[in-house]
A and B are shown apart, each in its own frame.
Chain A
Amino acid sequence: NAGVTQTPKFQVLKTGQSMTLQCAQDMNHEYMSWYRQDPGMGLRLIHYSVGAGITDQGEVPNGYNVSRSTTEDFPLRLLSAAPSQTSVYFCASSPPGSREQFFGPGTRLTVL
């Protein structure tokens, strides 16, 4: 198993640009989620999904969209990037019947 994978590792955007952060897992995990990590604020939940076709908002969802068309993939979309979205983004997944969560390596995003 490759575990939780994220692409790209690094990205620089200009204000107003859009992009999609990719997250995939090959462990057949039902639950997937996105967090952002900012200095002094810890990790905060953006969106999560309990299975294909089901998504819900976390603590800081504004400016981000998600969809879950397959069990394996959970992309995070920034429709119009803002400097406040400069952060490190982590994707996580959790297997059925367990609450243990496993994190990907992260995407470091800078918005100029």
Chain B
Amino acid sequence: KQEVTQIPAALSVPEGENLVLNCSFTDSAIYNLQWFRQDPGKGLTSLLLIQSSQREQTSGRLNASLDKSSGRSTLYIAASQPGDSATYLCATGGSARQLTFGSGTQLTVLP
């Protein structure tokens, strides 16, 4: 059974810092990995999708990488802003498109 872990559970950084969020998974037989953002009391917003054949994806200040062999993905946020404060979730995708989620990293960017 796939297990997805996100460490740390919470992170606080000053505005302007570059930061990295980590995601690890136990079964490398994934079809894709997707990063989401969740604001308090809200739904999930898709940030980046990495197909299993890809190594990274970029969108604006966000860059996600995938290393299937080591069971790791990272989300890099450049020049963090207070508006980036949210919980970030990673999820691996299986053959039937089922997603297995980590418990998330709660990010606070201090002004």
A and B from one complex: yes
Q: Give the residues in chain A near B96, CB-CB below 8 Å.
A: 48, 50, 56
Stretch at the interface among A35-43, A65-73, A74-82: A35-43
Interface: A25 (CB within 8 A):
no
Contact A99 B44 (CB under 8 A): no
How many B residues, CB 8 Å from partner?
A: 23
Contact mask for chain B residues 63-76; partner A; CB cutoff 8 A; 1 contact, 0 none:
00000000000000
Q: How far is the CA of A40 from the CA of B9 in the complex (A)?
A: 10
Q: Give the residues in chain B near A31, CB-CB below 8 Å.
A: 97
14-68 of chain A: CB within 8 A of chain B: 31, 33, 35, 40-45, 48, 50, 56, 58-59
Contact B101 A43 (CB under 8 A): yes
Task: Evaluate whether A100 and B49 lie within 8 angstroms (CB atoms) in the complex, with A31-B97, A45-B98 already known.
Answer: yes
Q: Give the residues in chain B near A94, CB-CB below 8 Å.
A: 97
Contact mask for chain B residues 86-107; partner A; CB cutoff 8 A; 1 contact, 0 none:
0001010100111101111000
Q: How large is the interface on A (under 10, 10 to 19, 20 to 34, 35 or more residues)?
A: 20 to 34
Main secondary structure of the interface of A (DSSP, over half): strand
Contact A33 B98 (CB under 8 A): yes
Contact B32 A42 (CB under 8 A): no
Q: Give the residues in chain A near B31, CB-CB below 8 Å.
A: 99
Contact B103 A48 (CB under 8 A): no
- Which 9 A-B residue pairs are closest in the complex by CB-CB distance? A103-B44, A42-B101, A105-B43, A43-B101, A100-B49, A99-B32, A42-B103, A103-B43, A45-B98
23 contacting pairs across A/B (C-beta < 8 A): A31-B97, A33-B97, A35-B99, A42-B89, A42-B102, A42-B103, A43-B91, A44-B101, A48-B97, A58-B98, A59-B98, A92-B44, A92-B99, A99-B31, A99-B32, A99-B34, A99-B93, A101-B34, A103-B43, A103-B44, A103-B46, A104-B43, A105-B43
